[in-house]
């Protein structure tokens, strides 16, 4: 009987864990320690209805106090200013280092990390006086930041050590339209370029890069923050050299009765997502951790994660592997690619939709997808995620039925055409 379940952190993973635990065992006493008095932090940013949902479910949400230590022997956490609180099951969802700002100097005005962007009003004030901005790293939040700054009319520079946008997750040909649209919006991209230092005293003046200096009024660092696991490591849980708590596919840690989920973990078996760190993945992991902590049984299947985000004038998306990742993993694949349209050609705002499908040679089971387009990319990613999970093949997709409704969907669904092209290429090579 779980009895008391304590959840450390109220982010996407924490809220997912608490809600799932309470659903599995309504009699469990579930308490979340948010570690932050800021109601706009953690999951509140993602799930605006979160606090009320917690209260409605009978979950105790403690905004404010941080957990300062975990005692595995006594099965208790030390709550800042309050002392020990006992638990029968513990779920750690402490996220990453606050704001990913750990390595950044705190005394430079105009320097921000993606997680410590001030509230709307203050951010408006900062940007009102900015003419030039530098965004460091084309990560998912970096892409959104670049687009938003450029749309405000700020001269925006993107600096990234890799060769293209969202490298690894998005194949270069899929990311290319985004980069073209940024160029149209005045964004200057500096790929294959490392940031080597910050310029300015008291106030940021720009960045020093491997290719020279870039002046800026505002610098926003969007690099992936390190996992923040001092608590877990001090308690004696196994933490990898990269900083993530080790868990198995049930999100169980190395200690009995302790689970972990979200940005604070290393994925089981060293798996990697197409996009590391997203609220949707943290939430799904949290639900698995919470279910198991409350006595249920669920395993996490990371390989099917669909992803999608707007960038420039486009929306990117995908499932599991793209060509870049598959090639890096030495994984053979059959490729089908097509460019279609999002709605009937004669309708206003019709947009190109490019779909790449990767299938396992032989079985032709779908193993990944990459997309760029406008409307409908998110829904296609969700659909293709399920297709990968269910073992759908290129042949199935080539003959799929789809909605034809001129204002919202073209006769030829780009997914089906990509699959048909993949089969045709395969046939031609025989």
Ligand X SMILES: Cc1cc2nc3c(=O)[nH]c(=O)nc-3n(C[C@H](O)[C@H](O)[C@H](O)COP(=O)(O)OP(=O)(O)OC[C@H]3O[C@@H](n4cnc5c(N)ncnc54)[C@H](O)[C@@H]3O)c2cc1C
Per CB under 6 A, the list member of 5, 70, 104, 114 interacting with ligand X is 114
Q: H helices of 294-413, where?
A: 323-328, 377-390, 394-398
The CB-of-12 to ligand X minimum distance in angstroms stands at 4
Q: Indicate which single residue of 2, 50, 51, 115 sits in contact with ligand X (rule: CB under 6 A).
A: 115
Q: Which of 20, 54, 91, 94 binds ligand X (CB under 6 A)?
A: 94
Name the one range near ligand X by CB under 6 A: 172-180, 272-280, 374-382, 396-404. Answer: 272-280
Enter the tokens of residue 213. 């200096």
CB of 16 to ligand X, least distance (A): 8
Binding characters for ligand X, 367-406, by CB under 6 A (x = yes): ----------------------------------------
User: Quick one: tokens of 131?
Assistant: 């003419």
Rule CB under 6 A: which of 18-37 touch ligand X? 33-36
**Minimum gap (Å) between residue 265 Cβ and ligand X:** 8
- Distance in angstroms (rounded) separating the CA atoms of residues 285 and 287: 5
Query: How far apart are alpha carbons 317 and 368 in whole angstroms?
Result: 11
β-strand pairing of 212-215 with 206-209: antiparallel
How far apart are CB 99 and ligand X at their closest, in Å? 8
Which strands sit side by side in the sheet containing 195-199, from one edge to the other? Answer: 195-199, 206-209, 212-215
Q: Specify the stretch interacting with ligand X by CB under 6 A; choose among 8-16, 176-184, 319-327, 360-368.
A: 8-16
41 is a contact residue toward ligand X (CB under 6 A): yes
Question: Among 6, 18, 30, 42, which residue sits at the site for ligand X (rule: CB under 6 A)?
Answer: 42
Stretch that binds ligand X, among 89-97, 234-242, 319-327, 334-342 (CB under 6 A): 89-97
**Would you state the structure tokens that stand for residue 12, as one six-digit string?**
């996407």
Give the residue carrying structure tokens 């009978």: 58
Structural Rg of the chain based on CA atoms: 23
Q: Binding residue for ligand X (CB under 6 A) from 2, 50, 95, 317?
A: 95
**Helix (H) or strand (E) segment spanning residue 196:** strand 195-199
Regarding 276 and contact with ligand X (CB under 6 A), the answer is no
Q: Are 178 and 316 in contact (CB under 8 A)?
A: yes
Dihedral in degrees, nearest 10, Cα atoms 139, 145, 146, 148: 150
Three-state SS at 417: helix
Determine, following the binding rule CB under 6 A, whether residue 149 of this chain makes contact with ligand X.
Answer: no
Smallest separation (angstroms) from ligand X to the CB of 38: 8
Name which position in 30, 150, 282, 293 contacts ligand X (CB under 6 A). Answer: 282
Task: Rule CB under 6 A: choose which of 51, 110, 142, 262 binds ligand X.
Answer: 262
Q: Which is nearer to ligand X, 7 or 364 (CB)?
A: 7
CB of 8 to ligand X, least distance (A): 5
Binding track, positions 228-247, relative to ligand X; x by CB under 6 A: ---x----------------
The per-residue DSSP string of 60-111 comes to EEE-SPPEEEEETTTTEEEETTTEEEE-SEEEE---BSGGG-TTS-SS-BTE
**13 binds ligand X per the rule CB under 6 A:** yes
3-state SS of 107-160 is CCECEEEHHHCCCHHHHHHHHHCCCEEEEECCCHHHHHHHHHHHHCCCEEEEEC
Contacting positions for ligand X (CB under 6 A): 8-14, 33-36, 41-42, 46, 66-67, 93-96, 114-115, 141, 231, 262-263, 277-280, 282
């Amino acid at each position: 009987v779980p009895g008391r379940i304590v959840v450390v952190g109220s982010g996407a993973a924490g809220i997912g864990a608490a809600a799932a635990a309470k659903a599995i065992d309504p009699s469990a006493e579930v308490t979340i320690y948010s570690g932050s008095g800021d109601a706009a932090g953690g999951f509140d940013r993602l799930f605006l209805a979160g606090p009320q949902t917690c209260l409605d479910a009978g979950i105790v949400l403690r905004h404010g106090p941080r957990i300062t230590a975990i005692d595995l022997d006594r099965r208790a956490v030390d709550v800042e200013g309050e002392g020990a609180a006992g638990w029968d099951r513990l779920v750690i969802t402490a996220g990453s280092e606050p704001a990913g700002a750990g390595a950044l100097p705190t005394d430079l005005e105009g320097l921000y990390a993606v997680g410590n962007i001030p509230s709307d009003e203050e951010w408006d004030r900062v940007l009102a006086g900015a003419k030039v901005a530098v965004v460091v790293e084309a990560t998912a939040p970096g892409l959104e930041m670049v687009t938003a700054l450029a749309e405000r009319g700020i001269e925006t520079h993107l600096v990234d050590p890799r060769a293209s946008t969202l490298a690894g997750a998005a194949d270069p040909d899929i990311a290319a339209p985004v980069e073209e649209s940024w160029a149209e919006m005045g964004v200057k991209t500096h790929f294959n370029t490392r940031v080597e230092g910050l310029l300015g005293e008291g106030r940021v003046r720009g960045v020093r890069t491997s290719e020279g200096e870039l002046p800026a009024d505002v610098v926003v660092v969007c690099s992936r923050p390190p996992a923040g696991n001092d608590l877990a490591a001090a308690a004696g849980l196994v933490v990898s050299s990269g900083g993530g708590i080790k868990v198995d596919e049930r999100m169980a840690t190395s200690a009995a009765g302790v689970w972990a989920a979200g940005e604070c973990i290393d994925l089981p078996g060293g798996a990697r997502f197409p996009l590391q760190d997203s609220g949707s993945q943290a939430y799904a992991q949290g639900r698995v951790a919470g279910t198991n902590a409350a006595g249920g049984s669920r395993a996490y299947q990371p390989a099917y994660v669909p992803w999608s985000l707007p960038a420039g004038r486009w929306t990117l998306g995908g499932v599991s592997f793209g060509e870049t990742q598959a090639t890096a993993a030495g994984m053979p694949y059959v490729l089908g690619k097509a460019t279609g349209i999002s709605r009937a050609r004669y309708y206003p705002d019709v947009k190109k939709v490019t779909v790449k499908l990767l299938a396992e040679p032989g079985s032709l089971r779908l193993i990944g997808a990459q997309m760029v387009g406008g409307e409908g990319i998110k829904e296609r990613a969700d659909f293709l995620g399920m297709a990968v999970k269910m073992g759908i093949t290129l042949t199935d997709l080539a003959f799929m039925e789809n909605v034809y409704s001129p204002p919202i969907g073209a006769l030829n669904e780009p997914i089906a055409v990509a699959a048909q092209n993949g089969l045709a290429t395969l046939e031609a090579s025989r």
